[in-house]
Amino acid sequence: MYSYFSNITIRSRLILLPLPVLLFLLIALVLYIQSQNQEIDFSLKEQKGIEIIKPVYFAYKVALPKFKIGNENVDDLKPMIEEGNVTILKSGILSEDSKQIQKWNTYLSYDRFDQLTTRNFLEDTQSLAVKIGDHSNLILDPKLESYYQMDIILFQILALWKHVGQLKELIRDEYLGENRKRKNFSNISYTKSIISISAIEDICINITNSYHKTMENAPIYQEKIQKNVNQSNETCNAYVAELKKVLITQLTKPDSSDELFNIIHKGTFLRSEIQNFSISVFEKLIEERLAEQRFHRMVNIIILALALSISILLIFLIFKSINLPLRTVLIKIEELSSGNADLTKQLPSFGENEIGEISGSINRFLSQLHDIIIQLKYSVNQVEKSSEQLKLDASSVSDNATGLASTTEESAASLEELSSSFEVMFGSITDETKNISKIAEEIRNIP
- DSSP letter assigned to residue 353: S
Rounded (5°) CA angle 188-204-282:
135
* pLDDT at residue 41 tops 60: yes
Q: How much of the chain is in helix, strand and coil states, percent to nearest 5?
A: 85, 0, 15
- DSSP letter assigned to residue 374: H
Can you tell me the distance from the alpha carbon of 54 to that of 264, in angstroms, rounded to the nearest whole number? 22
* pLDDT at residue 53 tops 80: yes
* pLDDT at residue 435 tops 70: no
- At 199, is the pLDDT very low, low, confident or very high (cuts 50, 70, 90)? very high
Residues forming beta bridges with residue 72, ordered by sequence position = 113
Comparing 182 with 338, the larger pLDDT belongs to 182
Region 19-40 average pLDDT:
80
Task: Identify whether the C-beta of residue 63 lies closer than 8 Å to the C-beta of residue 77.
Answer: yes
* pLDDT at residue 202 tops 60: yes
Comparing 292 with 316, the larger pLDDT belongs to 292
Region 58-74 average pLDDT:
73
- DSSP letter assigned to residue 352: S
C-alpha dist (Å) from residue 53 to 47, 62, 88: 10, 14, 8
Residues forming beta bridges with residue 112, ordered by sequence position = 73
User: What confidence score (pLDDT) does residue 423 get?
Assistant: 65
Task: Identify whether the C-beta of residue 214 lies closer than 8 Å to the C-beta of residue 152.
Answer: no
The string of pLDDT tens digits covering residues 346-359 is 677 667 667 677 77
Can you tell me the distance from the alpha carbon of 135 to that of 91, in angstroms, rounded to the nearest whole number? 11
The residue among 190, 316, 199, 294 whose CA lies nearest residue 247 is 190
* pLDDT at residue 447 tops 50: no
- At 195, is the pLDDT very low, low, confident or very high (cuts 50, 70, 90)? very high
Q: Which helix (H) or strand (E) holds 112?
A: strand 112-113
The string of pLDDT tens digits covering residues 226-277 is 888 888 888 888 889 988 888 888 868 887 788 888 888 787 777 778 888 8
Comparing 406 with 159, the larger pLDDT belongs to 159
- Mean per-residue pLDDT over the chain, rounded: 78
- At 198, is the pLDDT very low, low, confident or very high (cuts 50, 70, 90)? very high
The string of pLDDT tens digits covering residues 163-193 is 888 888 888 888 877 777 788 888 888 888 8
Q: Which helix (H) or strand (E) holds 73?
A: strand 72-73
Region 282-296 average pLDDT:
86
User: What confidence score (pLDDT) does residue 141 get?
Assistant: 74
User: What confidence score (pLDDT) does residue 68 get?
Assistant: 65
User: What confidence score (pLDDT) does residue 6 get?
Assistant: 55
C-alpha dist (Å) from residue 119 to 63, 114, 196, 223, 434: 9, 9, 16, 38, 189
* pLDDT at residue 442 tops 60: no
C-alpha dist (Å) from residue 348 to 53, 324, 356, 367: 76, 11, 9, 14
User: What confidence score (pLDDT) does residue 433 get?
Assistant: 56
Q: Is the dihedral of CA 306, 312, 313, 315 positive or negative?
A: positive
Q: What number of CA atoms fall less than 13 Å from residue 379's CA on the CB side?
A: 6
In the chain, what is the straight-line distance between the N-terminal and C-terminal CA atoms, in Å?
Answer: 130
User: What confidence score (pLDDT) does residue 408 get?
Assistant: 62
Q: What are residue 100's phi and psi, to 5 degrees?
A: -70, -40
Q: How many whole angstroms from its chain centre is CA 210? A: 37
What's the predicted TM-score (pTM) here? Answer: 0.63
**Amino acid (one-letter) located at 306:** L
The residue among 238, 300, 281 whose CA lies nearest residue 263 is 238
Neighbours of 328 (CB within 10 A): 15
Region 71-85 average pLDDT:
83
Comparing 126 with 115, the larger pLDDT belongs to 126
- DSSP letter assigned to residue 340: -
Q: Is the dihedral of CA 402, 406, 407, 412 positive or negative?
A: positive
Q: Cβ neighbours of residue 329 under 8 Å, at least 6 residues apart?
A: 347, 355, 358, 359, 362
* pLDDT at residue 313 tops 80: yes
Calculate what percentage of the chain has a pLDDT beyond 90.
3
Neighbours of 206 (CB within 10 A): 17
Can you tell me the distance from the alpha carbon of 95 to that of 263, in angstroms, rounded to the nearest whole number? 39
DSSP, residue by residue, 292-327: HHHHHHHHHHHHHHHHHHHHHHHHHHHHHHHHHHHH
Pick the most confident of 239-243, 313-317, 336-340: 239-243
Q: At what angle do helices 157-174 and 115-135 cross, to 10 degrees?
A: 170
Task: Identify whether the C-beta of residue 160 lies closer than 8 Å to the C-beta of residue 267.
Answer: yes
Can you tell me the distance from the alpha carbon of 115 to that of 169, in angstroms, rounded to the nearest whole number? 8
The string of pLDDT tens digits covering residues 417-430 is 666 665 665 565 56
* pLDDT at residue 446 tops 50: no
* pLDDT at residue 4 tops 60: no
